[in-house]
Amino acid sequence: MRGVMKTALVILAIGVISGCAGPQGATTAERQTAVRQMRSDTLDRLYEIHPIAREQIQHAEGYAVFSNIGINLLLLSTANGYGVVRDKSGGETFMRMWSGGVGIGLGAKDFRGVFVFTEREALQKFVDSGWEANAQADAAARSGDKGGAWAGAIEIAPGIKLYQITETGLALQATIQGTKYWQDDDLS
């Protein structure tokens, strides 16, 4: 019975922590402003780390920037976040994301993901259906200006590159995870 109780508490804790990952603000306009500010701050940081990313984004069909909070407790992992897709015409689509998986790990991390869409079809598919399934293995340690994590771009699908920047946290994990991105009806 204790094992079942502990498992239930872990699942509840993951759900509560993950549910806190949303843009700040009392009104829709304030939350949209918070998402845009996160995007701007993330891009500034990305351009410091990888100056070539600025040119890649300028020549892309579009890009998306997400803020994610990830939790991994023993065999369960989850992440929750929000972001915005911007196409080369300047149109914006506010989105949410949630991820869940299984694997070995322990820790929590606050990270940013910047997707660069080099093909129009990949951008449209991401906005319309936004599924991603992946295997993940990483080690990250960062707190303020201490520590570090590799933040290079990887090709995750034809026409989509991903930069991932760890903001804070400590995590060691190897998981199989499914991630869903969808349009945020509350912010669009």
Structural domain that includes position 80: 2-183
Within-domain flag for 173: yes
* DSSP track, 23-52: ---SSHHHHHHHHHHHHHHHHHHHHHH-TH
Model pLDDT for residues 3-19, shown as the tens digit of each residue: 544 554 455 454 544 44
- Asked if the structure places residue 90 within a domain, the reply is yes
- Name 16's bridge partners: none
Domain contains 188? no
Helix (H, G, I), strand (E, B) or coil at 93: strand
Q: Using one digit for the tens of pLDDT, what is the confidence trace for 97-142?
A: 988 877 777 777 788 889 999 999 999 999 998 766 554 444 443 3
Q: What is the pTM of this model?
A: 0.76
DSSP class of 118: -
**Does the CA dihedral 127-157-21-150 come out positive or negative?**
negative
Tell me, yes or no, whether 106 lies in a domain. Answer: yes
Query: Is residue 101 situated within a structural domain?
Result: yes
- Asked whether the beta carbons of 78 and 67 are under 8 A apart, the reply is no
Query: Which residues, 6+ apart, have CB-to-CB distance to 40 below 8 Å?
Result: none
Tell me if 118 is assigned to some domain: yes
51 within a domain of the structure (yes/no): yes
Task: Judge whether 143 lies within some domain.
Answer: yes
Q: Give how many domains the chain has, as a whole number.
A: 1
Are 68 and 135 spatial neighbours (Cβ–Cβ below 8 Å)?
A: no
